[in-house]
Structures are given as structure tokens and as C-alpha cells.
Structure 1
């Protein structure tokens, strides 16, 4: 286990998380959703505590206890008063090392996740990204959804869950991150004490650096929706976390649609009034990335919105961005980063994810310097490298008219 912490002595609270190198991308079609299911089951009791015991224990400490699953990692964490470090560590280690996986709880949580899947289906602004990932990452494990499917969840039994847990949730692969009123050496000694006598299997390293098959032509798919608004997701592959394009691409998407002064927001919402919500984003993973432009609009305006998006991209390719746009994007991006780590939970998240995914953690100052050092030519190059209209894919969710979605 690797341990990282940030001491903030003037705080009276601590945020502590256990980061697990397991997410939906390390699954397959047959067990898709198993990591997220395990995350749910961790709350349902251990070999010495029932789920009610766990809830009462955290509540009696005034602690907030939660967890989440992502594409490449999972995290179980708690925020609590600094005087309760030992007790919260004990609870977190019990949850992550001794889950009971009782058959009745497995059955119950499968049912809960089925309802969660229905909720996503009922929210097209969320559901569209599952379709989009499936198209952009077709054949790549990043295409798998975090929640899994009804079919894959139904096939998961105690033996499959237990085996996957032992392979993927080993303490040997976990990163413990913490921020708040905490002293690092004391934390390390406390963790050593908690780990004594706990058997931890060798971490089975997940497969990584899988090449993404680049499409020579974009894909367009239309799905039937039930809402009055139509939803568009338009984009394609981006860059991986270690790419030199990471910061230029982030600045480009900020200029394109990352703020209220961005080109798409100003053109499509403010000038044309065609959409209430429109934005551009990019997400990096270990070996690939994704760029997404999202808009909600009326069905009659779908073609016009996509046309305006392409017009802005062509304008950038032809004339480039301006120095003023780059300056605004840099300050906006830096502001988002700094403001995003003003609370201890956000600091814990940043430390844990960076150490788990990258093996190293850059300081905030180093990140801000990298953003400041990005040149205008590097940002302009992004348009030709990642935004070829012929290779960009679009997913549209639209309410059928006369029985047809088109």
C-alpha cells in the first residue's frame, strides 16, 4: 500500500480515502458492472459488523462515509473530525478487507443497481454518454459502462464476486490518501498497525496501454427518446493522461465550449438561442482519451447546432484562436483548478487519483506553470489533430415524430 497525505494544521477535520485500481475498463462483457456492485456491497456489512452497525459507527463519529466507481478506479472514503482518525481507519479497513458478501445482500444490491440503470435511462443527458463511449471506444474496454447491464449483473454470483474482489481489491495495490489535520509519519504507523495480520493477495496488474483503433470515418447514431428536448453528443478520441497534448487540448476545449465566454456558448446559446446547455469537455485515461461536445436543443435545430459547431471548428482551423482567447482560457482553467481544491475532500481526491493513475503527484504550482507555458501554436495544432469533421462521431437522442426518430 502506498500512502500520501497533505497536512493542513489549521483544519479540525480529515478526509481519508482508499483508492482501488479497479473500474469498469478492467472488466469484460460477462462481468461488466462487478466493480460497482462490489462498491455497493462494501456498505452492506463485514464479517464483524452489519450494515446497520457500519452506519451507526460512522454517524456516531459525525463522519461522512461514501464511495464511488469510475472507469479506471474506485474509492472508499470518509470525512471526519481529527480526533476520530483511529476509529475511522479501523472502520475503513474493516469495510475494505472483510466484506461479508451475503447472498441476500448480493440479490438486494443487484436490484438497487437495476433501478439506478433505469434512472440513467430516464435522464438522456446522462444516458447519451454511455452511447457515446460505446461508439468512440468501440472494441476497447473503456466502452464498458460503469453500472453494467441487466444481463451482466444477472450472471454475477458469490463466487465470481469473491474472486474478483480478491484479485482487484488487494491492499498491495491500494493507495491511501489523506488531507487535513494529520501528521504523515503518525498516519503511516497507524496504517501499519491496522494491516498487521491482514492477508493480502498479490495484486494482479490489470492490462493497460491497449491501442484504440482509430476510425477513418465518424459514426452517426440516433436513438429514440421520451423528452421534448433532443440531446446531441459530438466528438471523438482525445489524448491519454501522459500526452504532451493534455494541457493544450484542455485549453482548446475551454475556448471552444468550457465557459460562458466560450465560442459555442456565445454563438449557439447567446446569439442564436438554440440551446440552454452546451459545453465541450475532454477526459484523459491511461491509454486513451475522449472529446465530447454536448448540447440540448429542439429536434428541428439538431442539424443547425451541428453545423454551427463545425463552423466554429473550421474558423479556428482557418484563422486560429486569438491571444486574448488563450489568456482567458488559461486564467479560467487555473481558476477552476485552484477553486476545485479549496476543501479537504477535493485535496484528498487529487492526491489519491494522481498517485494511483500517474505514480506521481504534481504540485498545484507546477500544474499552473504548465498551463501558463502552453503556446498559442500548440493550441491551434489541436484543431487539425483532433477535430476532423469526417472522423467525428455523433449520438442523438430525439423524441420520435410520426413514429420515427431521425
Structure 2
């Protein structure tokens, strides 16, 4: 593609044409709020022939209690099983006939329903989404059929050990808080949830001021607002007005104090040991949000099966000092997970070795180096570049763009442009990073979850926390 660059782009490089291209840049996101509090956010993409439209709900498993944990995910399954005006078969045929694709997912803090559709069918797709969200039939026979499906899904998730470890990590870090519960809920809840539980959850959480209708691609903002008012205008507001990006006033949203503790599950049948170590991270609205992401990129990732890795050289050296020179780990991945009022930052590691004591020591040595600023200038700049690239890739395409806009609105109450994001990242200094590492890694508070055949070769939680403090 680049061989004819100079020949093909002479006209583009002409100053007058540069001005023309600049004026053709897409407008920024448009945001409106309806009388019932429902927010409409859109981003038009020039020349797009398709659109992604969907509803982001400021409610997920965190909005549940111990008795109905799993209900938000259960509702997601029932969404496409029929409404008061359409049977499941009617829904499937109608969606297929207009060439749209519907999808949905549930997270700890959000529930999302969206459609990828051709431009002429935007309103039709939104009407179907409205029908699904506000007029779901929730038939008893459909509920009973779906129990088995969700139980099988739960069994499959139980074999995905990265998912299992992070569920255990949340349970440890957010003990006795709704944020520590799983999204699918326990099997006993899946078996016992009844139609009334689903109806009550909808009444409590599916409010106008807890929803954002998002449209990206070939969309018109005024038309979206008009349709949103027609199809979602009947939804009520919360009794206490909801503010996006702020803790909810409902009883399940108590502040989640970070709990420094561990869970180790011995499972001799597993070929590997899976572990996650996390300190308290940053919330979506924290002024250190992007600093934590730069720190994550600087901590790096590594996998012994991948020839080229972007892991920190310090830890790559450390993990290569096991028995017979073999790596102490099979892989490690740094992560930074944010919620409205808290977050988790740490490392996820897999290993089949028996030298987990030495492995943990290598991780702690790596953290010690980061706290002391023992990294090169080019490593710091590379971490920032990698973060900016990943943020840019995350908005490539109408669906990814809709996801970014919806996520930002419900979690922060605002939408940052790529330029604003890049500016925030560019302003982060090495001192900012070192200060953040010392604040978080030097507190001596750590949540640990481990599962596998060699958990008993790990140092104790107390030993690890003491070592973290000793390294200050």
C-alpha cells in the first residue's frame, strides 16, 4: 500500500486540500437528556452505511443482593425469548429479515443491549430493542427452560480458570459487598429465581435516568432523540435522581472497602496453578485513572509461548531463573480494572512449576524496581504509546465506538474525545508513575486468589504483605 505513497498523495499534501480534509472531520459526540432523565448520546461517522444503536443501563450484578444475585444476567438471557407483542420466533425472523444483529451482555456495574444494523433500519432495530427492554413477556415456561442453559453456562465458566480466579479475587477484595459477587450468581439462585424476582429487579433498576441510548455510525442525533422519546419516554425516573459516574443510592451500592486477604484452593487435578495478586486500584473518575493504566502498561505482559513480548525486561529476567534456567511462570498479565468508586490493579500469573515461592519473590522484586523508578526513559514512553494505541484501537468501528461512548457516559457521566485522552496521557510524568507505584504497592495491602496444584508452595499472605512494606 505504501509503495506509491508519494505519487498517490501529492494532492492530499496540498495545503488547500489539507484544509478541506480538516473540515470533513466528524463532529464530536452529541448528548441530550430527555424529560424522564434518559440520556441520548450519538457520534456520526461520515460515509458510514451502518450503525450501532443500543442501550447502556447503569445496573449490573452489583445492583443485586445475596438473594437475587444472578438476576441481571438471567434477564439478559430472557430478553430475546419473546415480548408482549412478539414471540421468540417472530423476533428471530424479524431481526434476520432486516439484516440486523442483536447482542447483549452483563457486567458487574452495567447491562447492555445493542444492535448492529443498516442505516435504513435504525429505527426498526431501536423499536425491537425498546420492545425487548420494556415489554419482555418473562414467560414462566421460558424462565424454566433458561435455567438449564444458564447452569450449563456456569459449568463452562467454571472451566475458564482466568474467569474463576478473578471471581475469587473480587470475592476476597470486596468481601461482604455486592461488588464481590459473581455475575452469573450461585447455582442455588439460578435454580430458585422466579418471575417476580425479575419483575422487581426491572422496576428497581430499569429507570430512565439510569439509561443511555447510544447511536454511532450513520445516525442523526435529532432523529435518535425523537425516537428515544417515543419508545423510552414512558420509563420513570429513580426516586432519588441518578447521577452517572457517582455511587448509586440503592442499598446494594455501599462503599466497597478494599480487603487485604487471600484465598488458596488446592486442586491437584489441574496441570497449572493460576494466581492473581491485586492492590487497590483506581475508580473511573479518579484523577489517577490514566496513571494507573500507564503503570499497567509499564508492568507489562509476558507469555513463554510468544516469541515477541512486551513485558518489562526486569521481570522477564527474574522469571527466567528457575530450575535448569526454565521460566518460573508460563505467563503473566498486568491488569487495571476500574469501577465507579474503586478498582483493582495487579498481575495474573499462570505456572506449572513448583517454585512459586521464588516466583512471588520475583514479582515483588519487580514491584520494588518500579517503586524506585528503575526503568528506562524509553520504556516509560513505550508504555504511554502502547496505552494510547490500545485506546485508539478500542474505538475502531461503530460498535467499538458505541461501547466507548456508552461506557464513558454510565461510568463517568462525560465523554472524553481521543484528543483529550491523549492529552491526559501525555501529561503523565515519570514522577507521577513512581508516586503512584509507591502509594499503591507500598501500602502493604494485597488481595490474593490462587487455584491449582501448587498453591501450597506460595508464601503466606502475611509474608508477602510484610515483604511489600519492607521494600519501601
Structure 2 length normalisation: TM-score?
0.80
Shift of the 392–113 alpha-carbon distance from structure 1 to 2, 3 Å rule, reads: same
Aligned to 2:257: 213
Is 1:392 aligned with 2:446?
yes
What are the equivalent positions in structure 2 for 1:88-237 lying under 5 Å apart? 88-195=125-232, 199-204=234-239, 205=242, 206-207=248-249, 210-215=254-259, 217-224=260-267, 226-237=269-280
What SS does the aligned partner of 2:228 have?
helix
- Indicate which of 368, 384, 399 corresponds to 2:422: 368
Is 1:261 aligned with 2:310?
yes
| 1: CA distance, partners of 2:454 / 2:416 | 49
| 2: CA distance, partners of 1:172 / 1:244 | 25
| 2: CA distance, partners of 1:44 / 1:269 | 50
Q: Quote how far apart the aligned CAs of 1:376 are.
A: 0.9
Q: Quote how far apart the aligned CAs of 1:21 are.
A: 1.2
Q: Quote how far apart the aligned CAs of 1:275 are.
A: 3.0
| 2: CA distance, partners of 1:400 / 1:303 | 10
Per-residue CA deviations over 1:144-189 (Å, capped at 9, x if unaligned) read: 1111011222331111211111221133421001110111112212
Shift of the 388–224 alpha-carbon distance from structure 1 to 2, 3 Å rule, reads: farther
Is 1:53 aligned with 2:97?
no
Higher relative contact order (CA 8 A, sep 6+): 1
Shift of the 181–270 alpha-carbon distance from structure 1 to 2, 3 Å rule, reads: farther
Larger radius of gyration: 2
| 2: CA distance, partners of 1:187 / 1:67 | 20
| 1: CA distance, partners of 2:442 / 2:264 | 18
- Which piece of structure 1 moves more, 200-209 or 27-36? 200-209
| 2: CA distance, partners of 1:150 / 1:36 | 13
Q: Quote how far apart the aligned CAs of 1:110 are.
A: 1.9
Aligned to 2:350: 296
| 2: CA distance, partners of 1:382 / 1:66 | 38
Q: Quote how far apart the aligned CAs of 1:116 are.
A: 1.2
Aligned to 2:31: none
- Which piece of structure 1 moves more, 103-112 or 363-372? 103-112
Q: Quote how far apart the aligned CAs of 1:229 are.
A: 1.3
Aligned to 2:20: none
Gaps of 5+ in 1: none
What SS does the aligned partner of 1:361 have?
coil
| 2: CA distance, partners of 1:367 / 1:129 | 28
Aligned to 1:335: 389
What SS does the aligned partner of 2:385 have?
helix
Q: Quote how far apart the aligned CAs of 1:400 are.
A: 7.2
Gaps of 5+ in 2: 1-37, 243-247, 303-308, 459-472
Residue pair 1:225, 1:399 contacting (<8 A) in 2 also = yes
Q: Quote how far apart the aligned CAs of 1:268 are.
A: 5.8
Shift of the 218–320 alpha-carbon distance from structure 1 to 2, 3 Å rule, reads: farther
Residue pair 1:398, 1:405 contacting (<8 A) in 2 also = no
What SS does the aligned partner of 2:116 have?
strand
Q: Quote how far apart the aligned CAs of 1:287 are.
A: 0.7
Residue pair 2:319, 2:362 contacting (<8 A) in 1 also = no
What SS does the aligned partner of 1:275 have?
coil
Shift of the 7–269 alpha-carbon distance from structure 1 to 2, 3 Å rule, reads: farther
Shift of the 166–299 alpha-carbon distance from structure 1 to 2, 3 Å rule, reads: same
Residue pair 2:81, 2:87 contacting (<8 A) in 1 also = yes
Aligned to 2:467: none
Q: Quote how far apart the aligned CAs of 1:319 are.
A: 4.2
Residue pair 1:269, 1:276 contacting (<8 A) in 2 also = no
CA root-mean-square deviation? 2.2
Shift of the 16–399 alpha-carbon distance from structure 1 to 2, 3 Å rule, reads: same
| 1: CA distance, partners of 2:447 / 2:355 | 18
Structure 1 length normalisation: TM-score?
0.92
